[in-house]
Amino acid sequence: MVETVTVAIVGAGQAGLSLSHELTHAAIDHVVLERGSVGESWQRRWDRFRLVVPNWTVHLPGAPYDGDDPDGFMPKDEIVNFLDRYARSFNAPIWTSVDVTAIEPLEDGTFTLRTSNAEMRAREVVLASGGYQRAYRPAAARQMPVDSVLMIDAEGYSNPGALPEGDLLIVGSGQTGCQLAEECFEAGRNVYLACGRAPWVPRRIEGRDVLSWILDSDFYEVRLADLPSPSARFVSNPQFTGHGGGRDLNYRTLQALGVELVGRFAGVEDGRVHFADDLHASVAFGDARYADLRDLIAANCAARSVPAPAMPDPQAFEADPPDSLDLSRVGAVIFTTGFRPDYTRWVAAANAFDEAGFPIQVDGSSTIVSGLHFMGVHFQRKRKSATLFGVVEDAAVLAEHMTSRSSPRSGPMR
């Protein structure tokens, strides 16, 4: 027997659930297929994971944050509980423990979905599995000896105690890399952080969270076409943290803590890990983005005829980093160099994705394959698309488009 559905949404995270809420409201028959349970991707974060955005920014369709700590930062268990309560609030039609392994568009305009349970047919398919599905490692990572050093991605990290003895090398210095460097150092580990070009922002400006200043501007309204190039969407998220009630976390705070900052990971040769001579350039890049933020806030304040906050220049950065590290001292390497889309591995429509693997779409609907849609993609519509406060708008737009189509219609497919 082949199960037939009208709309199949793949993924029961905030993106898939947000669209499910809107389709439920529009009386469009659908199911949400989740390989694990609700909020599965959040459950796979490390033990002490915590949001870096304040709780008040968490807002799904029909469900703004309603807890008692709006200025706090949810740990992962609270995020999962929030999503689970949200799904139950409108009886989301979720089928858990259903792993979708392949999707194929058919000549009649429908889709075949191969799953861990059975084959399915759907009129419309929405991929809400996230825009970043495959951990990315720099090419030089292939030079690491796999038999003598533990190599894991951020998803494979749980806590410092689970790592083997020896120095730790963390490759990648966005939000995750900085947080893991701090956590492991505070647990008594000797940590090297191979740095790249990442922006940083202060956690608070004149007592107000930086997110509130940024959301006053049009920063998160920027579209992909507004960027200097499509590759600009790969710039790391800004360095800061939600731990300790929310505070600064960047190259300067890590250096003051005792983390050894080094240049970009360049590879392994003659028993040593080598680093590029670019640490100061990476710090300067982050400082330039701080200056951009200062200009953005000042311009927005001027437009509203209110005083701009005081944002002093960053302190001078001084460092004399080593250019290599004896590999025999390294117990583990953690790659936090981001993720890339992985749709083409399981969606039989390679022409529906660009050279970087992102879907070719407008407002969440494929312009190549009719009936194929997406939610939660980075820059799906705007910079905020993949955030916990950006899915509301995208879900409403996509649901309206799907409702206006001649197909799907309410009721199951025959």
Q: Is the pLDDT of residue 413 over 70?
A: no
330 within 8 A of 145, measured Cβ to Cβ: no
Per-residue pLDDT of 349-389, as tens digits, reads 999 999 989 999 999 999 999 999 999 999 999 999 999 99
Q: For residue 205, list its beta bridge partners.
A: 208
The mean pLDDT of 146-167, rounded to a whole number, is: 95
Looking at residue 132, its pLDDT comes to 63
Per-residue pLDDT of 55-73, as tens digits, reads 999 999 999 999 999 999 9
Peptide bond into 202 cis (omega under 30): no
Looking at residue 409, its pLDDT comes to 44
- What is the rounded CA–CA span in Å between residue 176 and residue 150? 19
- What is the rounded CA–CA span in Å between residue 1 and residue 287? 60
Query: With pLDDT > 90 as the criterion, what percentage of the chain qualifies?
Result: 90
Per-residue pLDDT of 291-326, as tens digits, reads 999 999 999 999 999 999 999 999 999 999 999 999
Per-residue pLDDT of 210-262, as tens digits, reads 999 999 999 999 999 999 998 888 888 899 999 999 999 999 999 999 999 99
The amino acid at residue 40 is E
The mean pLDDT of 277-283, rounded to a whole number, is: 98
Characterise 338 by phi-psi region: left (phi > 0), alpha (psi -120 to 50), beta (else): left
Question: Where does CATH 3.50.50.60 sit in the chain?
Answer: 3-133+341-404
Looking at residue 408, its pLDDT comes to 42
Q: Is the pTM of this model over 0.85?
A: yes
- Return the CATH number of the domain spanning residue range 3-133+341-404: 3.50.50.60
